[in-house]
A and B are shown apart, each in its own frame.
Chain A
Amino acid sequence: MALKKTFFKIMILVTALVFLSVTGTFADGPKRGGTMVYVTPKIPSLNPMHGSFIAGTVATQIFAGLTRLNEKDEVVPYLAKSWSFSDGGKTITFKLAENATFHDGKPITSEDVAFSIGIVLKNHRFGKQMFGPIEEMDTSDPHTLILHLSKPHGPLLVAATSPRHLPIMPKHVYGVGDFNKNPAHKNPVGSGPFTITDKKLDEYIIMDRNKNHFDGERPYLDRVIGRVVLDKTSVRVGLEKNQFQMADAGGQIRYRDITDFEKISHLKVTELKTPNGGGTYLELNNRKEFFKNKKVRQALAYAIDRDYLADVLHDGRSKASVGPIPFSNLFFDNKLKGYPLDIEKANQLLDEAGYPKKENGIRFEFKVAYIAPPFAPDDQLIIGEHIGTSLKKVGIKVIQQPLPRSSWSAKMKNWDYDSALPRVGDKVDPAVGVGRLYRCDNIKHQPYTNTSGYCNEKVDELFIKAALEPDQGKRMAIYSEVQKLLLDEIPMIWLKDSVYWRFHHKELWIPKYGHTEFFDEMYWKTAQN
């Protein structure tokens, strides 16, 4: 039956290809061909388990995931042609595409997928959260993978949609020797839509269409080139001369540059609607004497001018945060008022809290730790300095503490900081991405957990209740309550919600849903050289 289906699909595909070669174009929709050059920061590694965002972007092109997200953000078949649940959700059976091969021509089997899950479990920083409940993997049929779980586990299917989380790796390559030192990290043998033709990781990477890709239709582009550019002026010049057709704001391209870049006539700037939002927060170490006091925390919230940050310093390209859940999240309560700028009230609260202005006009001082430039200065240095100028007005002295990433991370881990500026992703579901910052049981020695040491059992209860509640409307109500509660207690100051901007050629179609980084879905609407 499955074979018949596949055969049928191949027939359709062949017909389509014949049709395509005759007419040279799809009647309506994606077209094949062309090259796209995108701007990238330095690519640190081709190891698909490397933690950095940039390495993940490349891995996403070279490796295939198990499933995929469509334009409605639903999980759809990919390498796994179909799947079914049994045993009350504790057993999942994946049927794999039978024509699928790795870049070296060897077939992709269920054993490779099981091997990849094993690698992820051992090496991926979220491995346990994604695939932890898997107890047994049955690979007796090369095109069927049966997972036996200890309990039903929702995040698994979604995690499998991104090669960032689950890249399918050939066992015969990556299973040899120490994975961390595998020579294939220099010349990866992938499973995805593109193969690496040439590279110099500090300068460029050239990826060509994998002609044997199991997906058949995709990728549409013949070639994708990642060009390492570290200087935004060069990005601008390159975009203007059409040397690059795609670049993301953030990093080198600062918020203030977007308006300027927008003037380039053949370019379009698109706000990416990723399900993965987030923001930058002023995390307060709740163990510190002055931050234990709720009035002090509220005073800070009244004194820091978030609108100025978003509207002026970020040139209107980010959004002032209101509360703990970013505006882009489904569960954001848009009736919340937050803390408007009110210097008088802030002063009054600080007086009440027992921190009057001393003779030198200063109430107290604290440090703000962030990652030193050139790392994302819009989100780190500028915010740190802005907090400094804002709080000076109410008599609080802020000492800037820019640190290398490693020291910053270590300070967070050891709870050895006054305040810090973490950039936190909400990981779609607040139960996963937001709750982790506030729950008592997540006070851990690791960045992006509840390092601030805030603990309120009511908050814990609500987050747990929301995670278990199947009804969307009721979840909404519970999250609303959490937001109100956290806003009042204000364990940290939510400063800015991230908005993602991408520059691209007008004629280049890019996905605005799902992971937005699947280059195989992009295509030229009109033929380009």
Chain B
Amino acid sequence: MSEMIDQQDLAAQFGEKPEKPEKPWQATARMFYTNKAAVFGLIGFLIVILLGLFGPIIFGADPFDIAGKPLMEPQDANPLGTDYLGRDILSGVIYGARPTMIIAITATVCATVIGISIGAIAGFYGGKIDNFLMRFTEFFQVLPSLVFAMVIVAVFEPSFLIVVLAIGTTTWTPLARLARAEFLKIKEREFVLAARALGAQNIRLILRVILPNALPPLIIAITLRVGTTIIFEAALSFLGLTDPSIMTWGRMIGLSRDYFFEAWWTVTFPGLAILFTALFIALIGDGLNDAFNPKLRRR
């Protein structure tokens, strides 16, 4: 929180911000909580997270254990049916929350770190550094991210680390562009110029002065990226580029592909899990968008 106070002090000193007595983050939070759809999304998302954290403990059964005959329809013992090896789909969906979210979040963090570092440095320093870094970014934009990730995963092995790295290294470019645009805009603002005049170091300017002010649009983008990453991982799984030892929802769909006509439950339920989780995230993203930009609200 210290950086917040930092920039608010500075901003207050020069009369730019805040306009309201209420702290901006509190205002944003208030806006967010009055948005029913956003709160619904947040609750839904928290349920998924809780499922990921505690589901395995409460539920007990290992999703890799054989629970019955292969490809059994939903019935009492297996409410969502079984897969081609006889594993319980329900326990797969519950257990799947954790690895799915871990992969999505780790890969997003990976993309965020690369993207924001490059975008921030490019936007802050400008000139040749900016030029070079943007060329570097464009290089990663030439190949569609899924195609690029396919190549990486197929060249190496589809392990957790490779999948995360492949998603991270192929999806950071939009975040870099966004961060750069924000930094370009904010670095010319008076409170930044003032901080610079007061002798603040570049690293301090980047991390403590500009970044906090650039956060709102980045937070929205990062939130939405988590959802996109879940789907991205599922797409890789669909193409067979998945680690069978990790019970993600994407893996459940990807490896059951051959059976979906005669056993619709094998792909439908994990797909719904992905759909709802991504939907919750989208609602949160929408809510954040509205909360950060109250003037732009149209609904």
Write the residues of chain A forming the contact surface with B, with a CB cutoff of 8 angstroms. 232-233, 252, 254, 256, 260, 312-313, 372-374, 377, 381-382, 384-386, 388-389, 392, 399-404, 407
Docked complex Cα distance between A389 and B86 (Å): 11
- Proximity bits, B251-263, A CB within 8 Å = 1, else 0: 0000101100110
Whether the Cβ atoms of A386 and B244 lie closer than 8 Å is no
- Does B140 sit at the interface, judged by CB under 8 A? no
Distance from A251 Cβ to chain B, minimum over Cβ atoms (Å): 10
Chain B residues within 8 Å of A404, by CB: 154
| Most chain B Cβ neighbours within 10 Å, of A252, A373, A384, A399 | A373
Docked complex Cα distance between A312 and B70 (Å): 8
- Residue from A232, A373, A403 within 8 A of B157 (CB atoms): A403
| Most chain B Cβ neighbours within 10 Å, of A260, A401, A402, A407 | A402
Docked complex Cα distance between A404 and B157 (Å): 8
Q: Given A377-B258, A392-B64, list of 12 further CB < 8 A pairs?
A: A252-B258, A256-B70, A256-B84, A312-B70, A312-B86, A313-B84, A372-B241, A384-B244, A388-B64, A400-B244, A400-B245, A402-B158
- Does B3 sit at the interface, judged by CB under 8 A? no
Chain B residues within 8 Å of A381, by CB: 244, 255
| Most chain B Cβ neighbours within 10 Å, of A256, A374, A388 | A256
- Residue from A254, A313, A373, A382 within 8 A of B240 (CB atoms): A373
- Does B71 sit at the interface, judged by CB under 8 A? yes
Docked complex Cα distance between A386 and B245 (Å): 12
- Residue from A256, A389, A401, A402 within 8 A of B64 (CB atoms): A389
| Most chain A Cβ neighbours within 10 Å, of B69, B86, B243, B258 | B258
Whether the Cβ atoms of A407 and B245 lie closer than 8 Å is no
Docked complex Cα distance between A385 and B245 (Å): 8
Distance from B87 Cβ to chain A, minimum over Cβ atoms (Å): 8
Chain A residues within 8 Å of B9, by CB: none
Distance from A408 Cβ to chain B, minimum over Cβ atoms (Å): 10
- Does B85 sit at the interface, judged by CB under 8 A? yes
Distance from A488 Cβ to chain B, minimum over Cβ atoms (Å): 30
Docked complex Cα distance between A427 and B149 (Å): 40
- Residue from B70, B245, B255, B262 within 8 A of A373 (CB atoms): B255
Chain A residues within 8 Å of B255, by CB: 373, 377, 381
Chain A residues within 8 Å of B261, by CB: 233
Docked complex Cα distance between A208 and B100 (Å): 53
Docked complex Cα distance between A381 and B70 (Å): 15
Chain A residues within 8 Å of B257, by CB: 374
A233-B261, A381-B255, A385-B85 are known contacts. Are A256 and B243 too (CB-CB below 8 A)? no
A392 nearest CB neighbor, chain B only: B64
Distance from B201 Cβ to chain A, minimum over Cβ atoms (Å): 47
Question: Could you pull out 7 A-B pairs where Cβ atoms are within 8 angstroms?
Answer: A233-B261, A256-B71, A313-B84, A372-B240, A389-B64, A402-B243, A407-B157
Whether the Cβ atoms of A313 and B70 lie closer than 8 Å is yes
- Does B16 sit at the interface, judged by CB under 8 A? no
- Does B66 sit at the interface, judged by CB under 8 A? yes
Docked complex Cα distance between A404 and B154 (Å): 7
Docked complex Cα distance between A46 and B244 (Å): 35
Chain B residues within 8 Å of A407, by CB: 157
Chain B residues within 8 Å of A254, by CB: 258
Chain B residues within 8 Å of A312, by CB: 69-70, 86
Whether the Cβ atoms of A232 and B245 lie closer than 8 Å is no
Chain A residues within 8 Å of B70, by CB: 256, 312-313
- Does B190 sit at the interface, judged by CB under 8 A? no
- Does B65 sit at the interface, judged by CB under 8 A? yes
Distance from B256 Cβ to chain A, minimum over Cβ atoms (Å): 10
Distance from B158 Cβ to chain A, minimum over Cβ atoms (Å): 7
B240 nearest CB neighbor, chain A only: A373
Docked complex Cα distance between A386 and B244 (Å): 12
Distance from B253 Cβ to chain A, minimum over Cβ atoms (Å): 12
Docked complex Cα distance between A377 and B257 (Å): 11
Whether the Cβ atoms of A389 and B158 lie closer than 8 Å is no
Chain B residues within 8 Å of A233, by CB: 261
Distance from B240 Cβ to chain A, minimum over Cβ atoms (Å): 5
Whether the Cβ atoms of A374 and B240 lie closer than 8 Å is yes
Distance from A6 Cβ to chain B, minimum over Cβ atoms (Å): 53
Chain B residues within 8 Å of A377, by CB: 255, 258
A233-B261, A386-B85, A388-B64 are known contacts. Are A399 and B154 too (CB-CB below 8 A)? no
A373-B240, A404-B154, A407-B157 are known contacts. Are A232 and B258 too (CB-CB below 8 A)? yes
Docked complex Cα distance between A385 and B252 (Å): 13
B154 nearest CB neighbor, chain A only: A404
Chain B residues within 8 Å of A260, by CB: 262
- Proximity bits, B208-246, A CB within 8 Å = 1, else 0: 000000000000000000000000000000001101110
Chain A residues within 8 Å of B262, by CB: 260
Whether the Cβ atoms of A389 and B258 lie closer than 8 Å is no
Chain B residues within 8 Å of A372, by CB: 158, 240-241
Docked complex Cα distance between A179 and B158 (Å): 37
B153 nearest CB neighbor, chain A only: A404
Docked complex Cα distance between A313 and B86 (Å): 9
A256-B70, A374-B240 are known contacts. Are A313 and B154 too (CB-CB below 8 A)? no
Docked complex Cα distance between A377 and B86 (Å): 15
